[in-house]
Copies of this chain bind each other. A is one copy, B any other.
Amino acid sequence: MVEDRKGKLRSALVEAAESVVAEHGLAALRARDLARTVGRALGGLYTVFPDLDALVLEVNRRTLALFEAHVGVLPQDRAGGRQSALDALVALALAYLDFAAAHRRRWRALFEHRMADGGAPPDWYVAEQARLFRHVEAPLAQLRPDLPESERALLARTLFSAVHGMVSLGLDEKLVSLPAPVLRAQVETVVAALGRGLIQGRERA
């Protein structure tokens, strides 16, 4: 019974926090406001979350899961050829762009959040992040079966970072801001070139 009440409070807090992040961004999140939103004293929050970081990590976990659901509906690479692996890489990059554009503040929160103690996030959260890189590793394994798995895992992260840079600065209103269709075409051009260059790199090696 107590567990049930705690479960409800937890859900209410996560939903309240998610709304604030989605509407106003991570910087607007205040423990006191959240407690008020769910009709509890500040101490109530800490009966279900050890600290505000734990609540933010839960919000971010849900954002990662939403992205994974978004990626899950991409056409699967059944043919298994190089061209389809290349197409899969481009489709993933475009899915990332679309997701970021549709959920800007929640997506930015994934990168803005820092643990209060300046330390690393807990292992379970790091594992959640790492799981997403597998979606990049799968087409890479077809483009570059010659690379050791550890090398491919590293390359998957670097490719993600490159796509993140294009999406992040492209959506930003500051330095490289681009209209949506132009940005899509640019991401497509660059990721396709990257895939072709990686295939060619194998042939040269």
Interface size class of A (residues with CB under 8 A): 35 or more
In the assembled complex, which residues on chain B have CB atoms less than 8 Å from the CB atom of A196? Answer: 196-197, 200-201
Chain B nearest CB from A168 CB (Å) reads 7
Chain B nearest CB from A140 CB (Å) reads 12
Q: Quick one: copies of this chain in the complex?
A: 2
Complex: A170 Cα to B165 Cα, angstroms: 11
Complex: A190 Cα to B194 Cα, angstroms: 7
* Residues of chain A in range 168-192 having any CB-CB distance to chain B below 8 Å: 168-170, 174-176, 178, 182, 186-187, 189-190, 192
Complex: A111 Cα to B16 Cα, angstroms: 30
Chain B nearest CB from A150 CB (Å) reads 11
Selected interface stretch from A1-9, A42-50, A156-164: A156-164
Question: A155: CB under 8 A from chain B?
Answer: yes
